[in-house]
A and B are shown apart, each in its own frame.
Chain A
Amino acid sequence: MHKSWMKRQSRLGYLFIGPNMIGVLLFFIIPAVYSFYLMFTDYKFMSPETHFVGLDNIRRMLNDDLFGVALRNTFVFLLAVPVSMGLAFIVAVALNKSVYWQKTLRALYFMPYITSGVAIAFVWMLLFQPTSGPINGFLRGIGIANPPGWLSTTEWSMYAIDIIWIWFMLGYNMIIYLAALQEIPEELVEAAKIDGARPWQTIRQVIWPLVSPTTFLLLITGLIMTIKNFGIIQAITQGGPGNSTTVLSLFIYQNAFRYYEMGYAAAISWALFAIIMVFTVMQWLGQKRWVHY
């Protein structure tokens, strides 16, 4: 009697998660397994024949100069994550206190995050315009005779993308930090004050450790989000000029949907997966040193 009730219960349970499981199976698990298989084939979309090629795609990837370039660009892109988080923390601390226009400022900082990517791309292209754009106009105004060419040069383009990405992520990081700051018990800050801590000391020794779980969360999600992102780069530079802004995710997109080299793209995807995995594991292992729950 009890057993059959359990059985019925669990059957009911499966029924409830069923639709979702089908979705996960169809759109996550099967494609993932399939792409793992594709990695070992020369499958080209629209091409009638597919052969098993073993490790050829992986070998090709390791010998591909462009893969190296994309890898390096990806790491430069990732610099945006800690910078954006640092700035977001400062802004959040400032906005957590009662300052003028607090709500308006919060909304303004969050605005980029909810703005259409294409609009962002166009606005920033105008801002970064090397000769007539306002950013270089300003830099010239404060006495820099030869401001960088930003998106129009291979040396600066990736950093220009970083700046856009920092600006884009700032609002999101700030909101999460704000939430964390509000959780901090007032007594702790008060106690620090009584002990004679200066504001900067309070932030560094009390507030920062207390929000470390949030920092950890933002770091992991931020790195994953950034490493996977290609939309903003596709909209602004398409990986150029030259190949100075081709990051791994864009490289995958180009191989898969521009050249239809699905097998090769699958191999790079798994390399990207491995990189994200390594990053995440490293952070999980490292968190004990600095994350305080």
Chain B
Amino acid sequence: MRIKKGLTGLIVGALMLGLLAGCVGKNETNGGDNGGGAAGGKVKLTMWGAVPPENGPQEVVDTWNAEHPDIQVEYVRFVNDDDGNLKLDTALSTGQNVDLYVNYTLTNLDKRIKGGTALDLGEFTDYNIDEKMGEDAASWKVDGKYYGMPTKKNAAFFALNMKALDQAGLSVPKAWTWDEAREYALKLKASGFKYGLVQHTASYVDPLDSVLVKNGYVKADGTSNLDDPLVTKWLETLNGMMKEDATTPPLGEQLTSKMPVENMFLGGESAMINIGEWLIRTSNNMTEFPRDWKIAFAPVPRLAAQEADMVKSGGLGDFIAINSKSKNKEAAWEFLKWYADGGMMPMAAGGRLPSSNAVDQQTAIDHLLGDYADSYDKESLEFVLYGDETPTFVRSIAQEVVDLRAQEYEKFFLGNQTAEVTVQNMVKRHNDWLKQNQ
């Protein structure tokens, strides 16, 4: 009852806020409070992002504000979940003060572009996003245009317990298949770990997307391609690891206990973890997670037999858009360029490596590793961050498809249906969805 009340309250509140803010927003522009340059030379920008202010953003805007008394930036945090994104979308579509905002998925960005709240950055000619950010930036283009700027380098990788690898006589792989990773997990478990591999549920599907980005989510005839043989391969590999090898936690157990996989890896319960650059935030916390071993890094394994067929999860992230209704587009643009070209550096300690080539790689890594650089295998880290030439992707499918897939493979891993039925159900539901959204 209480929760229900709370949530209803939230929704009603959001609606009300929308209404009220609509009025307030208008008043403010009339009053000149937000009227930018005209009012007295001082521009106030509001930037919405999902990183807690204390993890870097506050330092970023403080630095900017100190250097630019004429353009003051305020950081507003929204939580990057359904409720948080709804809050941002409501703010955007009701004209509240949002000048810049960070998109974390293409799916969300797409909605915001359709809603006419993302500015086409093509109108600014003094910064070449493709040149600055490299090839990976292009996956954020929508209809060939940049409705924002990707600012962060995503990195998905396996982090490995190097001491355990050495003891088991295993080398740090630079490219490998899931079959090999499964072997690794078995050998590492045999050397005394509870699990060979743990992963976040969010990273579970990366191998699937790797396959489907390469081979297409949809076949040439417009029907679902979720029955690609490699999808079955993925289902059976992970299932075998859970049930036959017991080298990775059963999904049911992981879901119900909201398993803290980072802690398990750092605490020595698991020898490998499928994760991304945000691991460093936790692994640098030596007081809570002390360890006497180095962390090595390997690319995420591939399902395909051929190395040339691999496309890995990664690309760029933190795609910052300028609200097309903003009164201060020019000022927002100035800030955005500064932010991307190194202004965001205080956020590197939390794993957000700048993607702009205006930023020195070494400086970024130094920020990332902080005082504990010695506790990482630097060579393999540099390889997964900058050396690996495998093409990358950013997941771009609709939330509905992500969800329907998850619902079906969860049933499989819980033993409710066979791999064959799972694939059939996924395909059927995907086809239904395609029909609905053609």
Contacts and interface: CB of A to CB of B under 8 A. Distances in A.
B70 to A, nearest CB: 33
A258 B403 CA distance: 10
Contacts of B387: none
A117 interface: yes
B253 A131 contact: yes
Nearest to A169: B1
A86 to B, nearest CB: 19
A137 interface: no
Given A47-B115, A48-B114, A129 B411 contact: no
Nearest to A172: B1
A152 B253 contact: yes
A257 interface: yes
A240 B252 contact: no
A225 B2 CA distance: 11
A98 B253 CA distance: 44
Given A150-B256, A152-B255, A241-B411, A46 B82 contact: no
Q: What is the interface of chain B mostly: helix, strand, loop, or mixed?
A: helix
A225 B5 CA distance: 10
Interface in B1-60: 1-4, 6-7, 11-12, 15-16
Interface stretch (A74-82, A101-109, A228-236): A228-236
Given A125-B258, A241-B410, A257 B82 contact: yes
Contact of A259 (B16, B114, B250, B399): B399
Given A149-B252, A151-B256, A241-B410, A47 B4 contact: no
**B interface bracket (residues with beta carbon within 8 Å of A):** 35 or more
Interface string A136-164: 00000000000001111111000000000
Contacts of A52: none
Contacts of A155: 416
B414 A130 contact: no
A46 B114 contact: yes
Interface in B402-432: 403, 406-408, 410-411, 414, 416, 429
Given A45-B89, A154-B411, A241 B2 contact: no
B416 A259 contact: no
A6 interface: no
B114 A47 contact: yes
B407 A242 contact: yes
Contacts of B252: 130, 149, 152-153, 241
A176 to B, nearest CB: 13
Nearest to A243: B407
B3 A117 contact: yes
A135 to B, nearest CB: 12
B150 to A, nearest CB: 21
Nearest to A28: B12
B257 A129 contact: yes
A67 interface: no
Given A129-B257, A241-B414, A46 B112 contact: yes
A228 B1 CA distance: 10
A27 interface: yes
Given A46-B93, A48-B115, A129-B257, A241 B436 contact: no
Contacts of B12: 27
Nearest to A56: B436
A262 to B, nearest CB: 12
Interface string A108-146: 000001111110000001101111000000000000000
Given A116-B2, A152-B414, A242-B416, 4 more contacts: A130-B253, A151-B256, A153-B416, A254-B403
Interface of B: 1-4, 6-7, 11-12, 15-16, 82-83, 86, 89, 92-93, 111-112, 114-117, 250-253, 255-258, 398-400, 403, 406-408, 410-411, 414, 416, 429, 436
5 contacts: A129-B257, A240-B410, A241-B255, A242-B410, A260-B111
